[in-house]
Amino acid sequence: MLIIGIPGKTLTSNDRDCLARPEVSGVILFARNFESRMQVAELIEAVRACRPDPFLICVDQEGGPVQRFRDGFTRLPALARIGEIYARDHALAVALAEEHAWLMASEMRAIGVDISFAPVADLARGNRAIGERAFHADPAVVSELLLAYLRGMRIAGMAATLKHFPGHGSVAEDTHFDVAVDPRPLEELLQTDLVPFADAIDAGAEAVMLAHVTYPAVDALAAGFSPTWIAGVLRGRLGFRGLAIGDDIGMAAVEGVGGIAARIDAHRRAGCDLILACNPSIVPESLAAVEGLGACPADRLATLCGAAPQAWDALVDNPQRDTFIARVTALDATARA
């Protein structure tokens, strides 16, 4: 049920105790957990030794401003660079989206990461947290690039996580620090921000991460705490059958829900399958809140576990990878020119 953060670059005895808890379904890694490719691969092996059952190793390796592992990995440009190409060569932009996704996912799978929480499906309409993490402002363009990104991830053996449902891009506030409210009605959202999500769900996206944004014309509760959004819109209207993931319960936008236990309970009641507790400081309280509730069912969790990866040496020896790296990394040079 919980995906937890750990504090350091190696596991402590306390980390091992936390990871062994059946209520913990995965771990999410950050820059604080990374020193080198070899080190983080050893950390992942140590986590696997604690939990050999279906168990998720997760990271945010989007590229641009959100890339947790850098040294030793391809420096991926922000998705906005691909969107900028679209206006002058949409076929090239689609190809680059697929190549970007393959590079990201194949490198993560080669070190044992199951899932990078990607791609961002939000519209690029001025949100402070999203910014250049989004492909484009036009829903149709985002949909086309998003579907290409899903193809690239799948070729590399990684499931996709669409974020941040039902769309975080059109409000200004950053939910890490502020409450965010989008006053638009559902019908307007269905014609704009929800278009990429709907198209990617139709294409079989395996997971969706909920936004800590409130849409009062739809429900007084923020999306991740709302049965109206999860059961009614996501699963009912859009037909999603994958896993619903609640965004980090440590964010400022959710403080009004109550303490850690109240936030977890609200996510569970709304229909979230997995809940992020990213900051190690909130993990003990989170574990206390879910004691005895069990993990996410193994058969559902297995749908997010990565397929058999290429070994790192084989990946590096792949000449196609060199071609993709040259094309994708050139996007940042083009943007600076």
Residues forming the active site? 176, 247
Q: What is the CB neighbour count within 10 angstroms for residue 30?
A: 16
Q: What is the CB neighbour count within 10 angstroms for residue 38?
A: 11
Query: Which of 319, 277, 226 minimizes the C-alpha distance to 58?
Result: 277
CA distances from 102 to 28, 121, 222, 322 (A): 21, 17, 33, 12
For residue 70, what are its two tokens? Answer: 């850098």
* Parallel, antiparallel or unpaired: strands 180-181 and 213-214: parallel
Could you tell me if 298 and 54 are in contact, meaning their C-beta atoms sit under 8 angstroms apart?
A: yes
Could you tell me if 78 and 331 are in contact, meaning their C-beta atoms sit under 8 angstroms apart?
A: no
For residue 328, what are its two tokens? Answer: 């994708």
Q: What is the dihedral of CA 72, 73, 74, 77, to 10 degrees?
A: -120
Q: In the Cβ-directed half-sphere of 106, how many Cα atoms lie within 13 Å?
A: 27
Q: Which residue has the tokens 């395996």?
A: 206
106 CB-contact burial (10 Å; exposed 0-12 / middle 13-18 / buried 19+): buried
Query: Which of 147, 46, 25 minimizes the C-alpha distance to 93?
Result: 147
Cα separation of 112 and 44, whole Å? 7
Phi-psi category of residue 145: left, alpha or beta, with phi > 0 → left and psi -120 to 50 → alpha: alpha
Cα separation of 47 and 294, whole Å? 19
